[in-house]
């Protein structure tokens, strides 16, 4: 059953925190996987899930760094996972499957942004390969564990960057067209949204629902490839090499937390991920793009709003076509519809 792409409304908003979303929620007995769950939004996602009783498995390229980050958290496990390396993805998936556990929450959080032209071992453009194809293959590898839950949710972190462009199904890896790092990022974020659309359609009969999430503007290590000039367009500056957002003395409107209005704190940024993962308001729903702890509004392709989901990132035909392409590029299949 299709879920309409429009706000519920949920009663939450852009300043809601992940802890507020989870208030009174007991996740004991639940198991979650969070890719990149040791830094930025992923770390806050791991923290609040752990505090609510869930067992959290982190997939990280650097397990030692991840272990240090979560050392004081309860019920958190760490596994090696490189989303640009198919063998690493298979090892991580198989290790989890061998534990014979059901997977209740799969949060595809890790990602990269606006990188120079780089390619994975298969020759695929790195942003598309990491942000979309790696998570596609991971979800395929964990499919039986998700089915075992009978009530699983998959959350794909998209971005407002999807508004830049859709997925070029004829040349997703920039083999023919000139490389544009921001277009490559936008394409990968549209792919994340389309992934949720088609995954939800294929997973419903197994109790698996999927959601795409825009966390909002949060200053994390994701901006490390941006130049000072590019950062300034977002109101970010570097101080001693460290990206920062302006303070009140710069004349920016701020919230009561002291964060400029165009930005969210990490605690606020993780809220929509958590809402999509556990909220009872989404029971029986799925396949939609969410922001500010609610289902986002579908807006026209030429919309100048900084909110809403563009048609190309919510289109069912495009989602199915991307799915077919992703199966071909990764040599895996998920949830074949009989």
For residues 211 and 290, what is the distance between their CA atoms, to the nearest angstrom? 7
Q: Is the peptide bond before 320 cis (omega within 30 degrees of 0)?
A: no
Beta-ladder partners of 126: none
Tokens 């964060």 belong to residue: 259
Cβ atoms 56, 49 nearer than 8 A: yes
Per-residue buried b or exposed e for 180-202, using 16+ beta carbons within 10 Å of the residue's own CB: ebebbbbbbbbbbbbbbbbbbbb
Residues whose CB is less than 8 angstroms from the CB of residue 324 and which lie 6 or more positions away in sequence, other chains included: none
Q: How far apart are CA 333 and CA 326, in angstroms?
A: 9
Q: What is the dihedral of CA 110, 132, 125, 41, to 10 degrees?
A: -20
CB 330 within 8 A of CB 133: yes
Report residue 322 as tokens. 């991307």
Q: What is the largest CA-CA distance in the chain?
A: 61
- 7/231 Cα distance (integer angstroms): 31
Q: Tokens standing for 215?
A: 């966390």
185 in active site: yes
The whole-angstrom separation of Cα 30 and Cα 53 is: 8
Peptide bond into 104 cis (omega under 30): no
The single residue of 12, 124, 185, 289 carrying the catalytic annotation is 185
Supply the residues annotated as catalytic.
185
């Amino acid at each position: 059953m299709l879920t309409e792409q429009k706000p519920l409304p949920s009663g939450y908003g852009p300043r809601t925190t992940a802890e507020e979303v989870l208030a009174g929620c007991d996740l004991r007995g639940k198991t979650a996987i969070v890719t990149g769950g040791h830094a930025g939004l992923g770390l806050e996602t791991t923290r609040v899930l752990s505090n609510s009783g869930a067992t959290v498995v982190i997939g990280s390229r650097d397990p030692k760094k991840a272990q240090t980050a979560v050392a004081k958290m309860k019920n958190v496990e760490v596994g090696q996972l490189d989303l640009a390396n198919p063998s690493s993805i298979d090892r991580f998936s198989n290790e989890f499957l061998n534990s014979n556990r059901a997977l209740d929450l799969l949060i595809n959080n890790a990602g990269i942004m606006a990188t120079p032209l780089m390619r994975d071992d298969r020759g695929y453009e790195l942003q598309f390969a990491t942000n979309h194809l790696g998570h596609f293959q991971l979800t395929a590898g964990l499919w039986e564990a998700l089915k075992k839950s009978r009530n699983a949710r998959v959350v794909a972190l998209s971005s407002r960057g999807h508004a830049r462009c859709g997925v070029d199904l004829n040349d997703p890896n920039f083999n023919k067209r000139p490389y544009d790092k921001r277009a490559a990022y936008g394409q990968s974020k549209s792919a994340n949204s389309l992934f949720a659309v088609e995954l939800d359609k294929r997973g419903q009969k197994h109790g698996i629902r999927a959601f795409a999430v825009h966390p909002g503007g949060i200053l994390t290590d994701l901006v490390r490839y941006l130049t000072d000039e590019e950062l300034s367009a977002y109101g970010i500056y570097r101080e001693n090499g460290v990206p920062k957002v302006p303070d009140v003395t710069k004349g920016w409107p701020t919230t009561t937390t002291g964060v400029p209005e165009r930005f969210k704190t990490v605690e606020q940024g993780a809220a929509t991920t958590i809402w999509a993962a556990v909220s009872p308001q989404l029971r029986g729903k799925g396949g939609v793009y969410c922001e500010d702890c609610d289902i986002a509004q579908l807006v026209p392709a030429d919309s100048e709003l900084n909110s809403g989901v563009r048609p190309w990132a919510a289109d069912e035909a495009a989602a199915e076509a991307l799915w077919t392409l992703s199966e071909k590029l990764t040599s895996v299949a998920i949830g074949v519809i009989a």
